[in-house]
């Protein structure tokens, strides 16, 4: 069998009416590439006839792989299962609701071949309601870009293309699928963004609403911590601890002067309780940071998790018998700057 070059991962939940047209459009787009490919559809516990229709299609096309969850685990879990199964050198993701256009995939792969590690779709002319979909998305994109330093116009677009090494080095959980470009940025990947077609939903109903903005805000705190302090928690907890502890000590010194030198009572002053509180909270923050350091070292030590990603190693054949090794991430265009940034 030919080596798979492109893997398409599609999470699906209750989309029985969209399956047939999605398969037809996707097949047309992928066959135009003239490259071996596979399509991995993850049925995220659908309650309609989605799996039956997928079973019928898979019986006719061995390039189609169907993964069925026992229940609805969410889109992040579906992406994680698809990434684990993917064999292609490039992994493309898109939604099953037909709002993403499979015809955009060849253009995304062309952009990826320019030397980028991640290519994200940008729904410039988005066909969604402004108040419940577009406005929350604009707010979320601004917050994520500001907090992570990876500036994209449209984090919520599922149509993305990744080099295999990017998704294979990610640990996804919760609802972190929308943050994949930001999570991958710690590896030093280069990110491009290109306009893609976006269509209105014809069948089924959206699984997202206004409540998503609150989940994004909470997940963003997690992502920010993972990107900045996951391997050095003492620096964030210790900083807060030192500041609050110092505040408590200063208040205690002030109250000491008031009581000893000025001979004024302090037992009924709120500042006394505040000084005690700040001192105790400072000690607790510092203790949390130290415990976090122990957890991090245990995690990386026992599971042999690296705290770095090597792009390439150059060595002579005489150097300990090792030959020149290929990079962990495929080398890209040398003229392309390596920092994560969008290309519009």
pLDDT tens figures, 192-202: 999 999 887 77
Segment 176-193, tens digit of pLDDT: 888 888 888 877 889 999
Segment 228-282, tens digit of pLDDT: 777 788 888 889 999 999 999 999 999 999 888 888 888 878 899 999 999 999 9
* pLDDT score recorded for residue 207: 56
Of 168, 199, 227, the residue that ends a domain is 227
- Shared domain check, 219 and 269: no
- Shared domain check, 182 and 282: no
Structure tokens of 133? Answer: 């979909």
* pLDDT score recorded for residue 175: 74
* pLDDT score recorded for residue 342: 46
Residues in the chain with pLDDT values less than 70: 1, 130, 132, 203-213, 299-301, 303-344
In a domain, residue 141? The reply is yes
In a domain, residue 318? The reply is no
* pLDDT score recorded for residue 224: 75
Tell me if 148 sits within 8 A of 141, measured CB to CB: no
* pLDDT score recorded for residue 341: 44
- Shared domain check, 241 and 125: no
Residue 19 has phi, psi (to 5 degrees) of -65, -50
* pLDDT score recorded for residue 344: 44
CA distance linking residue 101 with residue 259, whole number of Å: 74
Q: How many domains does the chain have?
A: 2
In a domain, residue 316? The reply is no
Tell me if 309 sits within 8 A of 169, measured CB to CB: yes
List the CATH number of the domain containing 27. 3.90.550.10
In a domain, residue 341? The reply is no
- Shared domain check, 266 and 216: no
- Shared domain check, 193 and 253: no
- Shared domain check, 116 and 62: yes
* pLDDT score recorded for residue 234: 85
* pLDDT score recorded for residue 197: 92
Residue 274 is part of which domain span?
A: 234-303
Name every residue whose Cβ is closer than 8 Å to that of residue 263 and which is 6 or more positions away in sequence.
none
- Shared domain check, 100 and 161: yes
Please name the residue ranges forming H helices in the chain: 16-31, 50-60, 75-85, 105-112, 135-148, 164-168, 180-184, 212-229, 234-260, 270-303
In a domain, residue 336? The reply is no
- Shared domain check, 166 and 291: no
Nearest to 223 by CA among 180, 169, 190, 193: 180
In a domain, residue 211? The reply is yes
* pLDDT score recorded for residue 324: 43
- Shared domain check, 43 and 116: yes
In a domain, residue 329? The reply is no
- Shared domain check, 100 and 144: yes
- Shared domain check, 173 and 78: yes
- Shared domain check, 202 and 254: no
In a domain, residue 103? The reply is yes
């Amino acid at each position: 069998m030919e080596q798979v070059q492109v893997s398409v991962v599609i999470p699906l939940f209750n989309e029985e009416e969209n399956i047939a047209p999605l398969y037809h459009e996707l097949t047309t787009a992928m066959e135009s590439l003239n490259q071996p490919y596979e399509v991995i559809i993850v049925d995220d516990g659908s309650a309609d006839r989605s799996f039956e229709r997928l079973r019928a299609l898979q019986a006719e096309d061995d390039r189609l792989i169907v993964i069925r969850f026992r229940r609805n685990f969410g889109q992040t879990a579906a992406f994680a299962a698809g990434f684990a199964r993917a064999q292609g050198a490039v992994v493309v993701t898109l939604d099953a609701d037909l709002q993403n256009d499979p015809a955009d995939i060849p253009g995304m792969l062309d952009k990826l071949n320019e030397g980028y590690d991640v290519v994200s779709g940008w729904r410039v002319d988005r066909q969604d309601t402004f108040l419940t979909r577009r406005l929350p998305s604009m707010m979320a994109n601004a917050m994520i870009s500001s907090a992570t330093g990876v500036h994209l116009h449209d984090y919520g677009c599922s149509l993305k293309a990744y080099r295999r090494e990017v998704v294979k080095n990610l640990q996804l959980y919760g609802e972190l699928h929308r943050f994949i470009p930001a999570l991958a940025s710690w590896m030093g990947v280069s990110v491009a963004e290109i306009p893609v077609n976006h269509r209105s939903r014809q069948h089924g109903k959206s699984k997202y609403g206004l409540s998503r903005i609150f989940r994004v805000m909470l997940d963003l705190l997690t992502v920010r911590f993972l990107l900045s302090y996951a391997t050095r928690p003492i620096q964030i907890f210790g900083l807060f601890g030192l500041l609050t502890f110092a505040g408590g000590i200063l208040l205690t010194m002030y109250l000491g002067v008031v009581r000893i030198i000025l001979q004024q009572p302090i037992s009924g002053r709120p500042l006394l309780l505040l000084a005690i509180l700040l001192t105790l909270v400072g000690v607790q923050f510092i203790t949390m940071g130290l415990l976090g350091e122990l957890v991090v070292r245990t995690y990386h030590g026992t599971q042999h998790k690296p705290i770095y990603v090597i792009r390439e190693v150059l060595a002579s054949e005489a150097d300990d018998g090792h030959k020149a090794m290929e990079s962990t991430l495929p080398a890209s265009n040398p003229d392309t700057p390596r920092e994560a940034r969008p290309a519009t």
